[in-house]
């Protein structure tokens, strides 16, 4: 595995992310696939919860509500699929500590509207973009062909989700302001991941 | 409308509920269908959120997670359907105060496990059972045939949901204890609804 990862192959930079994942993350993830799969299940449920909470906070925002309903439904469907994989592989459901990634990103959300909404949407866009990148890396390096195929199959929706969050942010502020803020948040996000978290997680 | 409601027709008691809804609620609901439809949208989103929060709190409970994933997905699908009705009828999405029903029921949840879990599941069962009853009443008395048909179509899943919550509660305590507790909570729930809340809501 190690030889394969530490190859000359570069990890492509996903649009909106400032830095691609370190190859050390890929090594950690593939060496701890059971934990990553369990954490991935938590991530899908969390993503559904985040979308529902945003709808709860902005119940009058027609477009946001419509699009986040679709995202929440898809995240739940993925949650179910990941849980089926856990069952198939005999990995019991269990709680897992969250990596600091999420609380650090959340700490960047500004107060007052529309800043709070724009930041929340942009942070969701970044998390989805990072998930898209990392699930793709698992798909690429996972030694179990069926599981690899499953991970590749999830990539398209993660990409769609980050596009939706990004476009939604532009509904509540002008494009130039959103792009400047996105670049700043994405830089911060890359800085969090520059140091590998000791516990293997999708966002370690 | 009033003549039709205040007829000799009795409101049937749904299994697990202690008292059927007052006909005054039906009158209030039918006279304020726009608000009820909007509140119903909030109820579906809340119900999805409650299911997701329970999975978040009990991430190792395999059966609970599997069944509440299905419930959350269905609630989101209903949320989407109700929102389509709102759009069709030109009712804008908007926030609405919650009736005291939910916070009062929540105040009954005991501390310590498994009591907290059992009570949370039983309260969800009761809320779903009441929704089943009241959506059925809207279906019966609503003057718009298409909307009435839509409400009748939702009844089967609400009934299924309350059955699932009730059976899940029995996974975490013995049947006799669960039945005694359910009877007590259901009695309290009927006492909340004995006084009609002044704002028209699905649970006023």
What is the pTM (predicted TM-score) of this model? Answer: 0.90
Q: Which of residues 88-107 of A touch B (CB under 8 A)?
A: 92-95
In angstroms, what CA-CA distances link B76 with B35, B48, B72, B106, B182?
20, 6, 6, 22, 27
Q: Per the CB < 8 Å rule, is B62 touching A92?
A: yes
CA distance A4 to chain B (A): 34
CA distances (Å), A169 to each of A69, A165, A174, A182, in order?
16, 6, 9, 10
Per-residue confidence (pLDDT) for residue A36, from 0 to 100 = 97
Pick the CATH number of A21-192 from 1.20.1260.10, 2.40.340.10, 1.10.3720.10, 3.40.50.970: 1.20.1260.10
Q: For A2-36, what is each residue's pLDDT tens digit? A: 444 434 344 556 678 999 999 999 999 999 999 99
Q: What are the residue boundaries of the structural domains of chain B, listed by start?
A: 21-192
Q: Nearest C-alpha of chain A: how many angstroms from B101?
A: 18
User: Does residue B73 sit at the A interface (CB-CB below 8 Å)?
Assistant: yes
Best residue in B51, B69, B78 for a mutation probing chain A (most A CBs within 10 Å) = B69
pLDDT value of residue B155? 86
Residue A46, CA distances (Å) to A75, A80, A98, A124, A125 in order:
9, 13, 11, 11, 14
Residue A159: band (very low, low, confident or very high) from pLDDT cuts 50, 70, 90: confident
The interface residues of chain B toward chain A in range 109-138, judged by CB-CB distance below 8 A, are: none
Which ranges of chain B have pLDDT less than 70?
1-14
What pLDDT, on the 0 to 100 scale, is given for residue B14?
Answer: 62
Q: Is the ipTM value over 0.90, yes or no?
A: no
């Amino acid at each position: 595995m190690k030889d394969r990862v530490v190859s000359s192959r570069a990890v492509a930079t996903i649009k909106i992310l400032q830095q691609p994942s370190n190859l050390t993350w890929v090594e950690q993830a593939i060496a701890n696939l059971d934990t990553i799969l369990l954490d991935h299940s938590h991530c899908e449920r969390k993503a559904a919860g985040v979308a529902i909470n945003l709808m709860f906070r902005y119940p009058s925002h027609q477009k946001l509500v419509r699009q986040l309903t679709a995202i929440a439904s898809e995240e739940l469907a993925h949650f179910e699929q990941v849980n089926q994989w856990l069952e198939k592989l005999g990995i019991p459901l269990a709680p897992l500590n969250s990596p600091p990634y999420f609380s650090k990103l959340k700490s960047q959300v500004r107060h007052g509207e529309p800043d709070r909404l724009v930041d929340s949407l942009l942070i969701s866009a970044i998390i989805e973009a990072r998930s898209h990148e990392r699930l793709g890396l698992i798909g690429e390096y996972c030694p179990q062909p069926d599981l690899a195929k499953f991970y590749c199959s999830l990539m398209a929706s993660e990409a769609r989700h980050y596009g939706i969050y990004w476009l939604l942010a532009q509904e509540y502020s002008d494009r130039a302001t959103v792009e400047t803020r996105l670049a700043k948040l994405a830089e911060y996000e890359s800085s969090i991941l520059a140091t590998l978290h000791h516990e293997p997680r999708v966002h370690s």
